[in-house]
Amino acid sequence: MQATRSSAPAKVILFGEHFVVEGQPAIAAAISLRAHVTVEPADTDGILVYSKNLGLLEEYRFAERGAWSGKMLSIAIAAYTAMESLGRKSGVKVTVDSEIPPGSGMGSSAAVAVATTHATFRAFGEEPDLKEVSRIAFEAEKVVHGKPSGIDNTVATYGGVIAYRKGEGFIPLKAELNGVRLVLADSGVPRNTGEMVKRVLELKNTYPSVLEPLYHAAGRLVVEAARRLEEGDYESLGRLMNVNHGFLSAIGVSTLELEKLVYTARRAGALGSKLTGAGGGGFIVALVTAEKEKEVVEALRQLSPRIFSVEISSEGVRKE
Ligand code: PMV
């Protein structure tokens, strides 16, 4: 066994969140924020998990497998399941060092699980099979997050831009954002995905005749956006992001803080902007040209405690 290091990217939902829950398509992209994981042999009869970000060390003993609990349980499960699938088990230390803000909807836990699985396979001298890496990360996510959609582990494994629809799987899009960036700005308000999804479904079930046409329109929007993405038509993409934000406001997941960020980005010259993910708090995403990036970031800085200016990353999980 040897020490290995792997990394995997964060994701951002570009189009279709919430509507995807009821069968419409959505688009997500890997971005240039990554989770880095080192796996190395350790003198323990289990898995030591150390987070540099949290300054936290936990031990998961093999003998107590049935009773594991802890803040970093999904990481231990990813490493354990990778070892189980290899039929080899020995004491390891997993060290996590992540650039991805946790609890932000950027898929931080999935990126860590993917990088952990990948590094564990490599530590035992095995070339990781990406399908297996994604599957194991998904299993680890399930233990902690209940019912993940599978998009976070897929994007973290394969990278790039992905269109997906519930029950139908994932289609990679041939999209590279050349000369444009994504600016992500935090509203500073924490979010709760489960709560927001519940609220939206309640609205839809109360007024189905009103909401169904909107869901249909949101699906059409994603199809149009996928086409424009592949054509590199950034102006249209920005406009479609604005329309998508309007739909998300209509179903009640925007907030005053998110609206301020969205409109500030547009006023400062973004091609388009919208809330991203579950809403109720969390982040907005703005599409900006390289020329306007500074202006948009400066304007958002007045309102947001945390801003990331990122690129779409074609690279998924990789060795380091
Ligand atoms: O904010 P996130 O990444 O947890 O996004 C949630 C996306 C939803 O469409 C609202 C829920 C889902 O499971 O797709």
Question: Which of 146, 173, 200 represents a domain boundary (last residue)?
Answer: 173
137 and 205 co-located in one domain: no
Answer yes or no: do 49 and 168 share one domain: yes
DSSP code for 75: H
Q: In what order do the strands lie in the sheet with 272-275?
A: 272-275, 283-289, 180-186, 307-310
Indicate whether residue 197 lines ligand 1 (CB < 6 A): yes
- For the CA atoms of 225, 229, 232, 237, what is the dihedral angle to 10 degrees? 40
Q: Could you tell which of 15, 17, 247, 251 is best to mutate to test the pocket of ligand 1, judged by most ligand atoms within 8 Å of the CB?
A: 17
Q: pLDDT tens for residues 161-216? A: 999 998 898 999 998 788 899 999 999 999 988 899 999 999 999 999 999 999 99
CATH code for the domain of 55: 3.30.230.10
Helices and strands (H and E) in the chain: how many: 9, 12
Burial of 97 (0-12, 13-18, 19+ CB in 10 A): middle
User: 150, 173, 196 — which closes off a domain?
Assistant: 173
pLDDT per residue as tens digits for the range 112-161: 999 999 999 999 999 999 999 999 999 999 887 777 788 999 999 999 99
**202 shares a domain with 54:** no
What pLDDT is attached to residue 274? 98
Give residue 86 CA to ligand 1 midpoint distance, Å.
32
CATH number for the domain spanning 203: value is: 3.30.70.890
What CA–CA distance (Å, rounded) separates 215 from 299?
32
Number of domains observed in the structure of the chain:
2
Nearest CA to ligand 1 atom 3: 105
| Residue 199 beta carbon below 6 angstroms from any ligand 1 atom | no
Q: Is 168 helix (H, G, I), strand (E, B) or coil?
A: coil
Q: Which of 125, 101, 98 is nearest to 114 (CA)?
A: 98
pLDDT at site 188: 95
Q: Whose CA is nearest to atom 13 of ligand 1?
A: 149
Domain for residue 274, yes or no? yes
Q: How far is the CA of 166 from the centre of ligand 1 (A)?
A: 12
Assembly ipTM: 0.96
Q: What digits encode the pLDDT tens for the residues 240-266?
A: 999 999 999 999 999 999 999 999 999
CB of 17 closer than 6 angstroms to any ligand 1 atom: yes
Domain containing residue 80: 4-173
Residue 277 backbone class (left: φ over 0; alpha: ψ -120 to 50; beta: rest): left
What pLDDT was estimated at residue 121? 98
Beta pairing partners, 4: 39
CA-proximal residue: ligand 1, atom 1 (nearest): 277
222/243 Cα distance (integer angstroms): 11
Which helix (H) or strand (E) covers residue 221, if one does?
A: helix 208-231
Verify that 18 and 154 share a domain, yes or no. yes
Active-site residue list: 152
pLDDT at 148 (0 to 100):
77
Tally the C-alpha atoms within 13 A of residue 217's C-alpha that lie toward its C-beta: 14
At 309, which helix (H) or strand (E)? Answer: strand 307-310
Domain final residue pick, 139, 173, 207? 173
Can you tell me which atom of ligand 1 is nearest the CA of 148?
13
* pLDDT on residue 107: 93
Q: Give domain status of residue 318, yes or no.
A: no
Least confident of 11-15, 116-120, 164-168, 273-277: 164-168
Stretch 299-311: mean pLDDT: 97
292 Cβ partners below 8 Å, 6+ apart?
A: 268, 269, 270
Which pLDDT score is estimated for 313?
Answer: 93
Q: Which contiguous run of DSSP H or E holds residue 112?
A: helix 108-123
User: What Å distances lie between residue 283 and 14, 31, 141, CA to CA?
Assistant: 12, 14, 22
CB within 8 Å of 141: residues ≥ 6 apart: 74, 109, 110, 113, 148, 152, 153
